[in-house]
Amino acid sequence: MMEISVEDITLRVAGSIVINGVDLKIPDGSVVALFGPNGAGKTTFCKGLLGILKPITGCIRVNGYDITTLPTYKRVEMGFTYVPERAGILERLKIEENLMVGAVRKKARDKLYENLELAYNIFPWLKLRRKEKASVLSGGQRQILSLMRALMNEPEFLILDEPSQGVSFANIKIIYETISSIFVKEKKISVLVTEQLPTYLRDIADRVHLLSAGRIITTISSEQLEDTESIWKLLASSG
Amino acid sequence: MMSVARFINIGAGAIMAIGAYTTYLLTSISQLGFLATAGLVFLTSSVIGLVFYLGVNKMGLFDQPEHTIEDLSVILSYGFYLFITGGLSLLFGARYTSVNVKLELPLSLSFIKETELIILIFALLVASVMHLVFISNNNLGLKSKAVIQNIQASIAIGINTKRIFAIVFMLSFGVLGLSGCLYVLLYPINPYFGLYYTVLGFVAAGVSGVGNLLYSFVIASVISILYSFLGLVIPLGVAIAISYVLMLLILVAKPEGLKRGLR
């Protein structure tokens, strides 16, 4: 069980404030989306949650405990698992090595080969190509590999940073179906997903926060994402 | 090895000298056999490596961008080299000193000298440990490979990169200290004898591509053999100069090294 609470967090990158006083709650087992244009601060927020960036103000709590000062590796040991934008795979490692290196938590290392087989069952091409360098994969395949690397870590809180970026529409569908079936329905873990494509969020998100210029301007339900035009107008007027 | 942490170490010679003089001290004041001495030298050098790592980490070196770590590491390791070799000169003088080591091999072979056999055994031991830590797919090996390739991505995965760096520094210093200990089996020592090996390591890493451990090992072996043959016909200084020119020519043609390294 993992309930995340972000309170009044402000994050700075290279001297500029990119996230400004953001409050956000991710209840246990829910999927929360951050929707916004390029430069809104989505990736910065993810890095702040993971502890890669240290906040200037505010705090992050997990089940009520303040984890604001915890380093990234300790958050990952707790169950935080990050799928970065453009996948963030290790290109010179083999596909199988990329999967294995994702098992960082102690409980994940204990189930290493079990989870490896699970990943191979979900995407059999990963097994067929396991000895190939990850650099040969396409954008969509890299994203799938990154998602399966996250699976290897027995995640309890998954942070997905724009999983559709640089991926073909056919693969975006596969990626979101995997997120929905494996992580949300089967594992029932908490998920934060950032996006700028509303289409696939509708089927997966419980709540959608609209992020513009480092602030959450409003929160909507996933059904309200149907009205794409007014959402973009709202984001444009607040940016 | 230290390129895992983006640390370009041009102070390797000083660590070898530490190992050699620790051997000298241990054999002078105690009746320890060579294996125990080598173990203690490895341990001492590793602890110095850990202290050095903690010092540069405290200075915030590893919070800098990767290229800044590389630039600053050259200055820091050169400062370390000057400090250590200067200190050893003050303590022991700059003259060459022979070290009497008690060898205790349980067997003797007719086709190889005792000293050569010991060096071979240690080389194989070090290569096995390196394989275990940096090349094999165990937990530490995988993490090391990830960190060699991309520090930021490794942090995002959840790898404790600073623990990996600490291990790398301890192992690097330990192995260099051990090589200083083995050196005394063959030659007399002075505080500056390690400079030649620093050059060799620098050329090997530069030519092969920083962060490419296996390739660096192969290149270093090839260069060592070439030096040995060249040493028969030309002075060693000239051979080193030739290797520098060759390195520059290779880097002009392939700035990332023969095999793509970190960049």
| Digit-coded pLDDT (tens) for A50-74 | 999 999 999 999 999 999 999 999 9
Higher pLDDT, A165 or A120: A120
Last residue of a domain, one of B142, B163, B193: B193
A182 residue type, one letter = I
> Residue B181: helix, strand or coil by DSSP?
helix
How many A-B residue pairs are in contact by the CB < 8 A criterion? 56
Could you tell me which chain B residue has the CA closest to the CA of A91?
A: B149
Residues B166 and B227 in one domain: no
Query: Could you say which of B148, B175, B193 is where a domain stops?
Result: B193
- Among the three residues B170, B193, B216, which one is the final residue of a domain in this structure? B193
* Range with the poorest average pLDDT among A84-88, A105-109, A158-162, B257-261: B257-261
- On whether both B202 and B101 belong to a single domain, the answer is no
Q: Sort out which chain A residues have CB atoms less than 8 A from B156's CB and list them.
A: 50, 52, 72, 82, 84, 88
* Closest CA of chain B from A19, distance in Å: 19
Any chain B CB within 8 A of the CB of A13?
Answer: no
Cβ <8 Å between A93 and B145: yes
Give the pLDDT of residue B108. 65
Distance between CA atoms of residues A154 and B24, nearest Å? 52
Query: Domain residues for B32?
Result: 2-193
Instruction: Please spell the DSSP secondary structure of A158-216, one letter per residue.
Output: EEEE-TTTT--HHHHHHHHHHIIIIIIIIS--EEEEEES--TTTTTT-SEEEEEETTEE
CA B192 – CA B174 distance, rounded (Å): 19
Q: In chain A, what residues touch B135 (CB-CB under 8 Å)?
A: none
**C-alpha gyration radius of chain A:** 17
Q: What is the pTM of this model?
A: 0.84
Residues of A in contact with B137 (CB under 8 A): 97, 100
- For A179, B1, B42, B163, B183, the CA distances from B170, given in Å and listed in that order, are 42, 10, 9, 11, 20
Could you tell me if B8 and B136 lie in one domain? yes
Are residues B83 and B153 located together in one domain of the fold?
Answer: yes
Residues B187 and B219 in one domain: no
Residue A115 has pLDDT above 70, yes or no: yes
User: Closest chain A residue to B158 measured between Cα atoms?
Assistant: A73
Looking at the structure, tell me whether residues B207 and B181 fall in a common domain.
Answer: no
pLDDT on residue B209: 66
* pLDDT less than 50: residues of chain B: 261-263
Alpha-carbon gap: B212 to the closest alpha carbon of chain A (Å): 11
Structural domains of chain A ordered from first start? 4-238 (3.40.50.300)
Average pLDDT, chain A: 92
Most A CBs within 10 Å: which of B140, B148, B152, B157, as the mutation test of the A interface?
B157
Cβ A73–B139 below 8 Å, yes or no? Answer: no
Name the domain count of chain B.
2
Cβ-based contacts of A77 with chain B (< 8 Å): 158
* pLDDT tens column, A179-224: 999 988 888 999 999 998 888 888 899 999 999 999 999 999 888 8
**Residues B162 and B239 reside in one and the same domain:** no
Whether residues B134 and B54 share a domain: the answer is yes
Between CA A178 and CA A190 the distance in angstroms is: 15
B140 and A CB contact within 8 Å:
no
From the list B145, B153, B157, the residue facing A104 with the nearest CB is B157
Strand, coil or helix: A8 = strand
Residues of B within 8 A of A109 (CB-CB) are 139
Interface contact flag, B156 A102, Cβ < 8 Å: no
- Do both B49 and B126 map to the same domain? yes
Domain match, B108 and B168 both: yes
Give the pLDDT score at B260. 53
Same domain (yes/no): B156, B61: yes
- ipTM value of the model? 0.91
- Note the pLDDT of residue B165: 92
Q: Taking the mean position of all CA atoms in its chain, how far away is CA B167?
A: 14
DSSP letter (8 states) at residue B137: S
Contacts of A50 in chain B (CB under 8 A): 156
In chain A, where does DSSP find H-type helix?
42-50, 72-78, 95-101, 106-110, 112-122, 124-128, 139-152, 169-178, 228-238
Taking CA atoms, B89 is separated from A109, B84, B93, B189, B190, in Å, by 49, 9, 4, 11, 8
CA angle (A70, A41, A150) in 5-degree steps? 55
Nearest to B146 among A73, A82, A93 (CB): A93
Q: Are residues B169 and B147 in the same domain?
A: yes
